[in-house]
Structure 1
Amino acid sequence: MWKWQKEFVRQQDITGELFGRYIDDILMTWNKSEQQLTELLHEANQWHPNIKLDYRISQNLPFLDVLLTNNNGILQTSVYHKPTTEPYVVPFTSDHHPYIYANMIQTALARAVRYSSTFEAFNQEKRQIKLMFLYNGYSSSYIEDQFHKYFLGYINEAAFIPVVTEMTQFFLLRQKMLAQPTARQTQVARSIAAAAAANTTDEPSEDLTTITHENVVHSRDRSFIHYTHEKRFRQFKRDMHQLYQNVFQNTPAIAVKMVVGNRNRPDNTKELVHKRPKQFLLSNKYKKIKHLKVKKRHRQVRKRSK
């Protein structure tokens, strides 16, 4: 199969066609007859009995979460939604930190900008995003506020209302965003740089030693406190800082800066399904079942005695 793919990719490069693959999903363009393409794919299915290609030929096809359309020879892209996808996200009334809600809206909007090659596709996806979050309890003003905050990072700050209302603004916004690496690309680049630095020399440089020493000293001047986030603890950070000031105001400990952070509350599904349930849950359930079995046995004995 690798030999067939290598030869096929070489032919695609010669003819200027597109060929992409992600694990077991393949996308390709073809400008010859459909019969020739069918014969080629049929030949590929004969290479190995355990490797079969399930293909679909059309001018409108999804690839992962991108919908590609051949519009009179022009390749257009948009966000692809599976027919079985439900419009559910984290409800606005759930007990999560506020940045979770903002990140979900801005992430969905970033995907719409990256995947939409036309202004019409972007507007359609933007409407779907707003309807989805409205369905999950988000207010219209909150959604629009997150839209404005997102556009503010790419549109001229002098604009009174940072919104995308024209095709030119959209393409400028998309060009700026596509020029920036994604979070995954940044992570891979850092891993490669770290591996390259580790392979060049085993001795740490002077700059690295200095930075590490500064980080250690910087960490010693801080005290970190974490708590599980709940809505009833909204004033917890302010109360902790006030208490710290009152107790250590005239002591050397006041020079240590206290940092109060929070963690998200683990979901019940994660606690009871993905992780091993706590022992008291199992024991209570076991005792209850055992008690019912004992009752049934007593009833059977009574019936036999009668």
Structure 2
Amino acid sequence: MALKSTVTSGFELVKQLQKWSKDNMRQETLFCTIDVMDLYTMVPQVEGVLALRKMLEYFKLKQVGGLKIETIIRLSRFVMQNNYFSYEGQYYHQIRGGAMGSPLTLTVANCYMFFYEQQIIKQINNSGGLYFRYIDDIFIVINWPIRHLMKQIDRWNKIDENIKLSENVGFMADFLDLHIENKDGQLFTTIFQKPSYEPYYLPFNSVHPIHMKKNIIFTMLLRALRYCSIFQEYLNEREKLRMALLLNRYPNKFIDKQFNNVLSKLNIQSLTCNNYVNCRQEVIDSPIKEKIPVDYEKTMFVHFTYCSSMRTFPIKFQALWNKYFGESPINDVLPVLGTRNVKNLQRQLTHTR
């Protein structure tokens, strides 16, 4: 229902911008990011639950998870209208919005925003622009004069007294973890990091399986390749990643080896300024593997406490499984190994929720 107007990652936005910019990008193209101010605490409780009901009715659902729609609405209304908190010894009843961090508040806010934004989406689409939202953050790219865009934002601010928009308009924008620029009519993208960003990753000397550390490098370098529109920017981000990993005690040889492994897994022999654009486009266009649903009736999960002496346990376990159960009916069951962290002093002294 809202797939065409929402994004859940910077990579999704990169693909949409690439497609749009081929025919629509101009020197005067504007980027606009809008923050919906205090969305969770500003959504009216009654209208928020009504938006949830309207959404469920749109899908013509009679039950969800064995619960009737009317039951879901009553429970939602009860939760939204019965939030309490204490402050300096006094108890307060929340009469507007929902509790921060509550899954229900997120759902209600998304439903409320969906119906609020429909006329804005229609207006942007009719003008040949792009509109996307991630919860309370909105991104718009449009070929309007800046005065006209500002005038329209003022008008959108008057649609609903509960929704207040704070905009940032210009030829560059930061949305999620993506930095976007209009450079003389050409789309430029790279990674965006907030000022509060600190280069902390899983330390190399931590007692975790080595594949977890390899996956960090794979994920971060893949993101750089997807996001960076020019080769030099990719090199810059790669070296930033190298420095962050070195700070977390990753050996330089290990880093180089994993960088090469990433390119190998993507079927790239080498990256140069001459082939970067084509190689990057192939990576962007490659289909993302869908998660295979787990058949819990034919899957057995085995967890063990990981330490350096247990490094070869998974291989030995699989060998023993095949040896003793290879021709047994139980071999239809798939064993999946998972690790637990060792209960060392650091974990004992660290409080986690």
Aligned: 1:26 with 2:138: yes
Cα distance, 1:260 vs structure 2: 9.2
231-240 vs 24-33, which moves further: 231-240
Matches within 5 A, 1:109-188: 109-155=221-267, 162-164=269-271, 166-182=272-288, 186-187=290-291
Identity %: 25
Aligned residue for 1:54, secondary structure, equals strand
Cα distance, 1:225 vs structure 2: 5.8
TM-score, normalised by the number of residues in structure 1: 0.64
Distance, in Å, in 1 between the alignment partners of 2:207 and 2:156 is: 52
Partner of 2:166: 54
Aligned residue for 1:57, secondary structure, equals strand
Q: RMSD of aligned C-alpha atoms?
A: 3.6
Aligned residue for 1:148, secondary structure, equals helix
Partner of 1:76: 188
Distance, in Å, in 1 between the alignment partners of 2:115 and 2:282 is: 39
Aligned residue for 1:176, secondary structure, equals helix
Amino acid in structure 1 at the alignment position of 2:167: Y
- Pick closer, same or farther for the CA change 1:8–1:228 going to 2, 3 Å: same
57-66 vs 97-106, which moves further: 57-66
Distance, in Å, in 2 between the alignment partners of 1:100 and 1:62 is: 29
Cα distance, 1:56 vs structure 2: 0.7
Amino acid in structure 1 at the alignment position of 2:277: F
Distance, in Å, in 2 between the alignment partners of 1:85 and 1:224 is: 36
Partner of 2:311: 234
Q: Tell me: higher relative CO, structure 1 or 2? Use CA pairs within 8 A at least 6 residues apart.
A: 2
CA offset digits 1:197-224 (Å, max 9, x no partner):
xxxxxxxxxxxxxxx9xx96xx8xxx98
Distance, in Å, in 2 between the alignment partners of 1:73 and 1:174 is: 20
Distance, in Å, in 1 between the alignment partners of 2:306 and 2:340 is: 5
Distance, in Å, in 2 between the alignment partners of 1:241 and 1:117 is: 43
Distance, in Å, in 1 between the alignment partners of 2:133 and 2:194 is: 20
- Pick closer, same or farther for the CA change 1:28–1:226 going to 2, 3 Å: closer
Aligned residue for 2:274, secondary structure, equals helix
Amino acid in structure 2 at the alignment position of 1:68: I
Amino acid in structure 1 at the alignment position of 2:284: L
Amino acid in structure 2 at the alignment position of 1:167: C
More strand per residue: 1 or 2? Answer: 2
53-62 vs 229-238, which moves further: 229-238
Q: Which runs of 5+ in 2 are unaligned?
A: 1-112
Cα distance, 1:262 vs structure 2: 4.9
Contact 2:203/2:249 (<8 A) preserved: yes
Contact 1:154/1:173 (<8 A) preserved: no
Partner of 2:74: none
Aligned: 1:265 with 2:341: yes
Distance, in Å, in 2 between the alignment partners of 1:34 and 1:235 is: 61
- Pick closer, same or farther for the CA change 1:14–1:255 going to 2, 3 Å: closer
Cα distance, 1:255 vs structure 2: 5.8
Distance, in Å, in 1 between the alignment partners of 2:342 and 2:351 is: 10
Q: Which protein shows a greater Rg? A: 1
Contact 2:301/2:336 (<8 A) preserved: yes
Contact 2:191/2:224 (<8 A) preserved: yes
Partner of 1:293: none
Amino acid in structure 2 at the alignment position of 1:273: T
115-124 vs 13-22, which moves further: 13-22
Distance, in Å, in 2 between the alignment partners of 1:99 and 1:73 is: 42
More helix per residue: 1 or 2? Answer: 1
Q: Which runs of 5+ in 1 are unaligned?
A: 157-161, 195-211, 275-306
Distance, in Å, in 2 between the alignment partners of 1:26 and 1:254 is: 54
Cα distance, 1:20 vs structure 2: 1.6
Partner of 2:124: 12
- Pick closer, same or farther for the CA change 1:270–1:62 going to 2, 3 Å: farther
